Chain A
């Protein structure tokens, strides 16, 4: 009964929101995801949507509009970004506008308290945004060089006939390019988001644990990328180009995320062991 009346009082808001972003979602699906790009962002959107939906009963929706000024300000700002982004095909503006627009809608529905309750799904959306290639490249360009360099030294230490020019690894008769699409460096943003989701769903957060885990997210993403490149090189070297570039190539993408999650859980367990060890010492 309560939910029904809430819906009756606020039904135009979800209607407007869907009117804005269903076309955007359609474009994302047909122009980006169908091309096989940024597929790793889809789970982020699903998780953010699920968490938002889960939070809907957390607080009663307000009987009056709680913060109309802030609500309208965020809405106008978001809509300007939307109009510029959608009409001129600047995807970052178009998708990015959903953050202020969504915040404005949540403010209208339940004021600041409800917006605070929804902080985590909104933060996840920040990781979902299609950032301009320029930004990603300038952030990960160096990283790519290091991934190739570390992979090369590891393979060399293992006795493989390996050489490197820039970001091209050659092993035996094969040459592998540690390209953007190949090394999964575009997925670094998603890897960071996965780290945050892990922290969010595993409570028990004392500050040192949270701090250490947050600080380890980037090194983990780096390590997971190296594991992936090594796997690709070894697959190519032992089973040929067809295997290394074919089906196994997609599989190693899943490996990338699996490695990252495993490392994160490993570090968390280790921290747990150290913590219990320390508290036992204190007790005795």
Chain B
């Protein structure tokens, strides 16, 4: 038995060692939160009550939920605000900001088309787009949602850490970049929408709204919404 032990045991021990090393490494590489316990960033200050031609409207429109109904993993966000803005022409825009301090695992941001679909809305023309800002193209997702008589073109995007992301793969990559650097990735969902039957016109309006909004923000706040790099 001794020779066969000598042939197999070292190799078994090597495999065992590799496995236990991996268990240890994954523990070491797990990001640890450095801002102890702070799970909010004060979203209200990121959405001023008036800027450019826009001011918040007390008669807010009913807003679609940001997470899927019946979803046990609805705890993705720590802080959420809904605002309805109106301009001089009486055009209304809905803004939703949702912040999650821990964008990992089950608590990752939700693709908004799934949330609308799970409410029963149908989604048309879901596609990538970009908002032209000064010196930057902000990547966004566009879609035209229709629920019964409610026709709502939607523009949305995420920021993860200091990067913007639109697709699930981009979110994953952004999460890994922050996470592997040892920090807990935090993220923000930005959703701009309006009630309109003309998606093209609505998206132009969304773009103008976002440009006016970003222009009104301090540089220290701007990266939260538009990121620093794509």
Contacts and interface: CB of A to CB of B under 8 A. Distances in A.
Interface of A: 5, 8-13, 15-17, 19-20, 23, 31-32, 35-37, 62-65, 68, 71, 75-76, 79, 82-91, 101, 104-105, 108, 132-134, 137, 141, 165-168, 177, 179-182
B105 A12 contact: no
A177 B15 contact: no
B117 A71 contact: no
B148 interface: yes
20 contacts: A5-B1, A9-B8, A13-B16, A16-B16, A16-B17, A16-B19, A64-B8, A71-B15, A82-B26, A87-B26, A88-B30, A88-B31, A88-B175, A132-B168, A134-B111, A165-B120, A165-B148, A177-B120, A180-B71, A181-B70
B26 A177 contact: no
Chain B interface mostly: helix
A88 B168 contact: no
Interface string B13-57: 101111111110111111100000000000000000000000000
Given A167-B117, A177-B120, A88 B176 contact: yes
A89 B114 CA distance: 22
B22 A13 contact: no
B196 interface: no
A105 B70 contact: no
B60 interface: no
B106 interface: yes
Given A65-B11, A165-B147, A166-B122, 9 more contacts: A9-B4, A12-B17, A16-B17, A64-B7, A64-B8, A83-B26, A167-B118, A168-B119, A180-B71
Given A79-B18, A166-B120, A179 B69 contact: yes
Contact of A10 (B12, B28, B70): B12
Interface residues of B, number: 50
Contact of B5 (A9, A20, A181): A9
Contact of A79 (B19, B122, B176): B19
Given A9-B8, A90-B172, A180-B68, A19 B120 contact: no
B73 interface: yes
B104 interface: yes
Given A9-B8, A75-B18, A181 B71 contact: yes
A13 B114 CA distance: 43
B121 interface: yes
Given A8-B5, A65-B11, A137-B114, A31 B106 contact: yes
B179 interface: yes
A13 B117 contact: no
A90 B179 CA distance: 11
B118 A11 contact: no
Contacts of B81: none
Nearest to A137: B114
Interface string B111-148: 10010011111100000000000000000000000011
A166 B168 contact: no
Contacts of B118: 167, 177, 179-180
B19 A20 contact: yes
Given A13-B12, A75-B15, A19 B20 contact: yes
Nearest to B176: A88
Contacts of B26: 82-83, 85-87
A167 B115 CA distance: 12
